Structure 1
Amino acid sequence: METVSKANSTWRTIDLAHCGLFATLMMIGANITSFAPFLVVGGVPITLQTFFAVLAGLVLGSRKGAIACTVYMLIGIAGAPVFAKFSGGFSSVLLPTFGFIVSFIFSAFVAGWIVERYKTLPSYIIAALVGTAINYVFGTNWMYFAYTLWAGAPEGFTYKMVWLWMVAPIPKDIILAIFAGFFAYRLQKVLKIIPIK
């Protein structure tokens, strides 16, 4: 009984470490624009958050990947400067771009859910691309409704304009998603973090 309890305790500690690691990676990825301020288009920072969110799901699985992204979001809401441009605090919830932060949770969960069931290299790449697509669809629509309902929309604002803002980061995130798929597949074969069912 003691041996089982100790094993369960060790597994829980590892889970926390994994989630903490990816939450930290997202904090780092969020603030790349601090060193390259020109990587901001239409008020949307071009960051590595989507890459790390999708990677969390691919490497940790649906549950732990989503938890890692949730921890990151809650730390930021609590006031730590972990969002893009070292921002944070509860007021971030009202920002038009906050939908992208929420979407990381869904992106990680769905990407993880796919690779928990299909463990081939194409599945990892597809899962990464699906996770990235979720990030864009959820985040962009949130931003549109935010500008429409409570944030001050720029002159001539339209739904098409919101998606035009996304044109700049899309190629980068597609390339990173494919890389995440390759990387996570190789990493999973070594670490075997996601149990084979």
Structure 2
Amino acid sequence: MRFRTVEMAYVALFVALSVVSIYLVRILPPVMVLGVSVPISLMPMISALAGALLGGRLGVMAMFLYLLLGLIGLPVYAEGTGGLIYIVSPTFGFILGYLLSAYVSAWLVRRKKSLFRFQLGMVVSLLPLYAVGILYMWAILGFYLHKEASLIYIALGMIPYFIKDVAVNLLFAVVAYGVTKRVNLAAPRVG
């Protein structure tokens, strides 16, 4: 698989945004959603945005490199963690879900780059992200940590996070669409 220089730069930009977003969570105040204090994680938005702006191949590559950086031990996961041990963390499934999120977003946006398609891609990309994340959490809690874990209760517990992510993704879909309309004429085609 060969990459042009501009493609490598775009992938590197999204990997860097992913890493920076993890540290932004520490300074951004949480929001209240349905009575739950929800931290402002930007990774669900960044993974969807990577797919929407870079296309499936490059968007997934950016999320894969982010995943790889954490697994080799760099502190790029939540709360500045990393390493192979993170594979048995209940939240690791969400990191795996970022790859699917980028792909789904790219697939929905690629045909017609309209505001509606950006919004659709950015919101629908949350479904596989949460599906993988919730199933992985359930499996790790139940089979590895031997804790009583109900799939329904885990999914219900994620509703405030999902609502926050839908709102953030809708907002950034509008921003991304506006940017692509202005930059598309000058920028080389990626994805």
TM-score normalised by the chain length of structure 1: 0.83
- Measure how far apart 1:157 and its partner are: 2.8
The answer to whether the aligner puts 1:23 opposite 2:6 as a matched pair is: no
The answer to whether the aligner puts 1:84 opposite 2:78 as a matched pair is: yes
Deviations 1:38-87 (A, max 9, x none): 78xx9x96511101111111111111111110010000101100000000
- Measure how far apart 1:184 and its partner are: 1.7
Q: Mapping of 1:49-128 within 5 angstroms?
A: 49-128=43-122
The letter for the 2-side match of 1:15 is: E
Runs of 5+ unmatched residues, structure 2:
none
8 Å CA contact 1:66, 1:108 repeated in 2: yes
The answer to whether the aligner puts 1:185 opposite 2:188 as a matched pair is: no
8 Å CA contact 1:31, 1:47 repeated in 2: no
Partner of 2:159: 167
Query: Structure 2: how far apart are the matches of 1:137 and 1:19?
Result: 25
8 Å CA contact 1:59, 1:187 repeated in 2: no
Query: Structure 2: how far apart are the matches of 1:194 and 1:55?
Result: 18
Give the fraction of aligned pairs with identical amino acids, expressed as a percent. Answer: 29
Query: Structure 1: how far apart are the matches of 2:118 and 2:188?
Result: 13
- Measure how far apart 1:13 and its partner are: 1.3
Which stretch shifts more, 96-105 or 46-55? 46-55
SS at match of 1:92: helix
Q: Evaluate the alpha carbon distance shift between residue 38 and residue 180 of structure 1 in structure 2; reply closer, same or farther with a 3 A threshold.
A: closer
Q: Evaluate the alpha carbon distance shift between residue 37 and residue 177 of structure 1 in structure 2; reply closer, same or farther with a 3 A threshold.
A: closer
Q: Evaluate the alpha carbon distance shift between residue 37 and residue 86 of structure 1 in structure 2; reply closer, same or farther with a 3 A threshold.
A: farther
Runs of 5+ unmatched residues, structure 1:
1-8
RMSD between aligned residues? 2.6
TM-score normalised by the chain length of structure 2: 0.85
The letter for the 1-side match of 2:12 is: G
Max Rg structure:
1
Deviations 1:75-124 (A, max 9, x none): 01011000000000111111111010011011001101221112221111
Q: How many residue pairs were aligned? A: 183
The letter for the 2-side match of 1:71 is: L
- Measure how far apart 1:126 and its partner are: 0.5
